[in-house]
Amino acid sequence: MSNISKEILKNYVNEQKFRNPNEVLAAMKEMFKNVLQEALEAEMDTQLGYDKYDVTKKQTTNSINGYSKRTIKSELGAVELNIPRDRNSEYEPKIIPKYKRNVTGIEDKVMALYAAGMTTRDISEQVKNLYDVDLSSEMVSNITNRILPVVAEWQNRPLEKTYSFVFMDAIHYKVREDKHIVVKAAYVVLGVNMDGQKEVLGIWIGANESSKFWLSVLNDLKNRGVCNVLVFCVDGLNGFKDAIGAVYPFAKIQRCIIHQLRSSMKYIPYKDKKAFAKDLKAVYGAVNEDAALENLMDAKEKWESKYPNAIKSWEDNWDNLVTFFMFPDYIRKIMYTTNAIESLNSQFRKITKTKLIFPSDDSLMKMLYLATQRISRKWTRSYENWDMVVNQLNILFSEILNKGA
């Protein structure tokens, strides 16, 4: 049940009003039965080649023909299932083979292996080795598709009213679309709430990264209840500033210093990189904005004649590069780079590295969602010195925070 959102589980527990462990066990047994039943339905859909509720894709004379009851033993006790039958009697269950009366958590294993980044083919082999059950790659895909309604609920869940910091970045994947392979962007938004807890606010699959799509993402956050964002931390994509200003006009924007360094260093030949980087460090490492500007002018006087574009990029983006100077050091460390979300995307890459091409947007979304659930379980602590951080934010953004109180 690790893939069910905490909110769904919480609501379920509140509805059941459990009084003792036996009642909890009985509920788990019922959940297990429902998951296994759904897996059998998915298997039949694969056998027939179409969903029983979508006959428009039917390309066979065969069809579902009722059910037969079977009682199996599980770790949670005996479970009665309705085994689907087809009209031509061609279907033989593979998840629960014909004479099998004892099962273990195959569904959970399939989901866990998929979340770890294994391909459907590798999962098929693992299930065969562990349970001596033949599952095709298509069947594995159908089983994991059962998580899609949970993904949709998570993606549309209400969010908190205010987030202190929001990090935005995109990670790119190859996806098959209309018999072509295209590069798509997974737009990832990571928020830090007013308690200092990190949370992935959503993942959107769209065309290659653009400010127009980011605008739609921001509108979605607004529609899901996010009224205030105090500071946005972003990379150097053109149009970020306008998109953010259109939806959250009072938010501060911090352009990632590391991205800015990379952008300007591409103009510098190897022989001058070390010296140039040292002069830039004096800019972003200054004690305040006035000192930073003075150091930038010194760097400009020294380097502009040789590398005008490198200096110009700092001047053009200055307003969004120096936002962090208005905060003390313990807040600057949180916001002056997008390391928080780049670390998340790095973990996504490790999990998805075996998938060179995703067969669909849904396939990519499933894996990123399951990976998110797995990764976020480790986010149990708030940022260091958070009491001091939130006190500063409450003072600096008092007008915004009090306006919508």
Conformation bin of residue 232: beta by default, left when phi > 0, alpha when psi is -120 to 50: beta
Each residue of 79-130: pLDDT tens digit? 788 888 888 877 777 777 665 554 556 777 788 888 788 888 888 887 777 6
Percent of the chain at pLDDT exceeding 70: 90
Identify the residue with better confidence: 100 or 137: 137
Query: Whole-model pTM?
Result: 0.71
Confidence at residue 26, expressed as pLDDT on a 0 to 100 scale: 77
Quote the pLDDT of residue 290. 96
What are the structure tokens assigned to 31, written together? 């959940």
pLDDT at residue 292 greater than cutoff 60: yes
Is the predicted pLDDT of residue 261 greater than 90, yes or no?
yes
- Cβ contact 370:355 at 8 Å: no
Q: Is the pLDDT of residue 403 over 50?
A: yes
Does the pLDDT value for residue 151 go beyond 90? yes
pLDDT over 90 percentage in the chain? 53
Tokens 């770790």 belong to which residue? 75
The one-letter amino acid at 373? Q
The 10 Å Cβ neighbour count of residue 321 is 25
Query: Residue 156: what pLDDT?
Result: 96
Other Cβ atoms less than 10 A from the Cβ of 224: the count is: 15
Instruction: Look at residue 404 and tell me whether its pLDDT is greater than 60.
Output: no
For the cut 70, the answer to whether the pLDDT of residue 4 exceeds it is: no
Task: Using pLDDT thresholds of 50, 70 and 90, give the confidence band for residue 31.
Answer: confident
Domain ranges of the chain: 6-103, 159-398
pLDDT of residue 2: 46
> For residue 135, what are its two tokens?
């599952």
| Burial of 11 (C-beta count, 10 Å sphere; 0-12/13-18/19+) | exposed
- Cβ proximity of 258 and 337 under 8 Å: yes
pLDDT for position 153: 94
Among the listed residues 368, 362, 359, the one whose alpha carbon sits nearest the alpha carbon of residue 182: 359
Partnered with residue 168 across adjacent β-strands are 189
pLDDT at 265 over 80: yes
Label residue 179 left, alpha or beta by phi (over 0 means left) and psi (-120 to 50 means alpha): left
Place of tokens 């050091």: 329
CA distances from residue 260 to 73, 210, 236, 378 in whole angstroms, order as listed: 60, 18, 7, 30
Per-residue pLDDT at 281 exceeds 60: yes
The answer to whether residue 1 scores a pLDDT higher than 50 is no
- Decide which of 74 and 310 is more confident: 310
For residue 273, which of 264, 285, 282, 283 has the smallest C-alpha distance? 264
Q: Is 170 helix (H, G, I), strand (E, B) or coil?
A: strand
For residues 263-268, average pLDDT: 92
Q: Kindly report the backbone phi and psi dihedral angles of residue 286, in degrees, each rounded to the nearest multiple of 5, phi listed first.
A: -70, 165
The winner for highest mean pLDDT among 5-14, 232-241, 362-371 is: 362-371
User: Residue 6: pLDDT above 70?
Assistant: no
Q: Which residue has the higher pLDDT, 335 or 108?
A: 335
